[in-house]
């Protein structure tokens, strides 16, 4: 910001920068200086607008909305400090860089106080210093804008979920509609993968919940949760789960909480959140993240039974996994398991309400027959609906949730 910085410019990150679509506005009453700066920055890949005084500069700024302003301080009709005031007042997200021959410390301090992104002293011995300052200011403005967008999206999601909670408490009929609206569409196809689900509540509202969504350009996440108990109190927890996972997703995209979005970390975060809420409810969960580039599935289990059933090449088997229920123990930790997904497969996840439909007297007998039934169903949701005769079910003692993930399933 003061003369000493020009002697040791840090230029390495911008030595070979690509063309940019950013538009710059250069305001300087010295035509030679203005033309020199404009020519250099145009050669660096920027679109450049020019103004010969502050008043003309403000007019061009209001018309063209440039991404960044470079201005002098001492100019006719309107000085640089007043120009900074007007620019930051109307477009606070637009960076302003001062390039001035007036090397007065008080001017530099006042310019920076008014919101200038940088202050450079004429003559510039190396115009690469200016380019570096411009790119740095544009990068910072871009990050601030992205954070603002993420913040607005998160606030919007929070408002929607708070409204959902209010409706659920006011009326069970509205609550059921809200819960159904929170569920993802079914079936849902993304890249090579297909998701499908069904939830059958034992009461008017369900304590079982499923969700799937894209994490980033190469990863897709999903989970199935079974809340302890039934009815409105358990359904309230499913809304809380949706809120927590939605917030985690936005935070991970901002590089904040759990940027890697590992299933074990997500279950641990939910565990701590439920305990801190002191709602007297816990959840069993299985959640996973698919890496589309590597074709692998990373998943974690939180006290959930039955375990996921993998069906491929006419055979069905349980995936391994164990872990404590979510929301019961502060010291609970969860383990990630990794599976290479076959070219053709389905992965079936079920809540424990399905055990009431299985033959056998003991849990061991019921668990033994489940992979056989998945095999009979061909690994599809439609097949499972047929095998378990879900269309003709009467009153059930527990909620039932089915979530099927598949690829190239015949």
Residues 266 and 258 sit within 8 Å (Cβ to Cβ): yes
H-run or E-run covering 159? helix 128-170
* Torsion of Cα atoms, 70 then 76 then 78 then 82, to 10°: 60
* pLDDT exceeds cutoff 50 at 10: no
Identify which of 273, 5, 283, 276 has the alpha carbon closest to the alpha carbon of residue 136: 5
What would the pLDDT profile of 322-357 be if each residue is shown by its tens digit? 899 999 999 999 999 999 999 999 999 999 999 999
Name, in order, each residue with C-beta under 8 angstroms of 261's C-beta and a sequence gap of 6 or more: 215, 219, 221, 248, 249, 252, 289
Q: Do 72 and 99 contact (CB within 8 A), yes or no?
A: yes
Question: Lowest-confidence range among 45-59, 225-239, 295-309?
Answer: 225-239
Predicted confidence (pLDDT) at residue 304 exceeds the cutoff of 80: yes
Residue 51's CB is within 10 A of a number of other CB atoms, namely: 22
pLDDT at 143 over 70: yes
DSSP 260: T
Residue 370: CA count within 13 A, CB half-sphere:
26
Contact by Cβ (8 Å): 306, 346: no
Phi/psi of residue 161, nearest 5 degrees: -70, -35
CB 384 within 8 A of CB 360: no
Extents of the domains making up the chain: 3-144, 171-407
Cβ neighbours for 328, distance < 8 A, ≥ 6 positions apart: 271, 275, 282
Strand order, beta sheet including 208-214: 208-214, 219-227, 283-291, 296-302, 337-340
Could you tell me if 282 and 323 are in contact, meaning their C-beta atoms sit under 8 angstroms apart? no
Alpha helices in 65-127 (DSSP H): 80-90, 105-113
Stated as kind and residue range, the H or E segment containing 39 is: helix 31-43
CATH superfamily of 171-407: PPM-type phosphatase domain (3.60.40.10)
The pTM for the full model equals 0.58
**Confidence at 264, pLDDT banded by 50, 70, 90:** very high
Query: What is the chain's mean pLDDT, rounded?
Result: 87
CA 219 – CA 162 distance, rounded (Å): 28
Query: Where does residue 113 rank: exposed (0-12), middle (13-18), buried (19+ CB within 10 A)?
Result: exposed
Q: Find the angle CA(338)-CA(340)-CA(343) to the nearest 5 degrees.
A: 155
Question: Given pLDDT bands bounded at 50, 70 and 90, which one contains residue 295?
Answer: very high
Tokens of 176: 């059921």
Residue 1, Cβ neighbours under 10 Å: how many? Answer: 16
Q: Among all chains, which residue has been given the structure tokens 């599935």? A: 297
d(CA 85, CA 79): 10
pLDDT tens for residues 83-124? 999 999 999 999 999 998 766 788 888 889 998 999 998 888
3-144 placed in CATH 3.30.200.20: no
């Amino acid at each position: 910001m003061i003369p000493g910085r020009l002697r040791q410019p840090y230029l390495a990150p911008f030595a070979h920068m690509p063309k940019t679509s950013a538009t710059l506005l250069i305001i300087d009453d010295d035509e030679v200086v203005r033309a020199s700066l404009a020519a250099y920055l145009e050669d660096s890949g920027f679109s450049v607008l020019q103004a010969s005084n502050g008043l003309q500069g403000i007019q061009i700024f209001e018309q063209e909305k440039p991404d960044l302003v470079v201005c002098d301080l001492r100019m006719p009709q309107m000085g640089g400090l007043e120009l900074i005031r007007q620019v930051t007042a109307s477009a606070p997200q637009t960076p302003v860089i001062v390039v001035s021959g007036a090397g007065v410390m008080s001017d530099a301090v006042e310019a920076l106080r008014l919101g200038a992104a940088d202050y450079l002293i004429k003559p510039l011995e190396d115009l690469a210093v200016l380019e570096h300052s411009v790119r740095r200011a544009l990068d910072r403005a871009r990050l601030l804008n992205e954070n603002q967008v993420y913040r607005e999206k998160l606030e919007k999601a929070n408002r929607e979920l708070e409204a959902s909670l209010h409706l659920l408490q006011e009326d069970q009929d509205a609550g059921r509609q809200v819960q159904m609206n929170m569920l993802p569409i079914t079936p849902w196809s993304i890249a090579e993968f297909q998701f499908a689900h069904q939830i059958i509540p034992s009461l008017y509202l369900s304590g079982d919940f499923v969700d799937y969504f894209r994490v980033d350009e190469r990863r897709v996440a999903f989970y199935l949760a079974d809340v302890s108990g039934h009815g409105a109190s358990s359904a309230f927890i499913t809304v809380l789960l949706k809120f927590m996972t939605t917030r985690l997703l936005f935070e991970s995209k901002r590089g904040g909480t759990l940027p890697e979005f590992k299933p074990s970390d997500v279950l641990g975060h939910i565990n701590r959140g439920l305990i801190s809420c002191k709602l007297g409810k816990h959840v069993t969960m299985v959640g996973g993240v698919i890496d589309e580039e590597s074709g692998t599935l990373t998943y974690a289990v939180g006290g959930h039974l039955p375990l996921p059933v993998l069906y491929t090449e006419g055979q069905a088997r349980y995936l391994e996994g164990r872990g404590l229920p979510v929301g019961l123990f502060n010291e609970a930790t969860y383990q990630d398991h990794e599976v290479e997904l076959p070219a053709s497969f389905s992965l079936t996840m079920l809540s424990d309400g399905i055990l009431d439909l299985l033959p056998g007297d003991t849990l061991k007998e019921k668990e033994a027959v489940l992979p056989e039934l998945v095999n009979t169903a061909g690994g599809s949701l439609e097949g499972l609906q047929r095998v378990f005769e879900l269309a003709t079910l009467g009153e059930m003692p527990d909620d039932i949730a089915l979530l099927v993930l598949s690829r190239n399933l015949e």
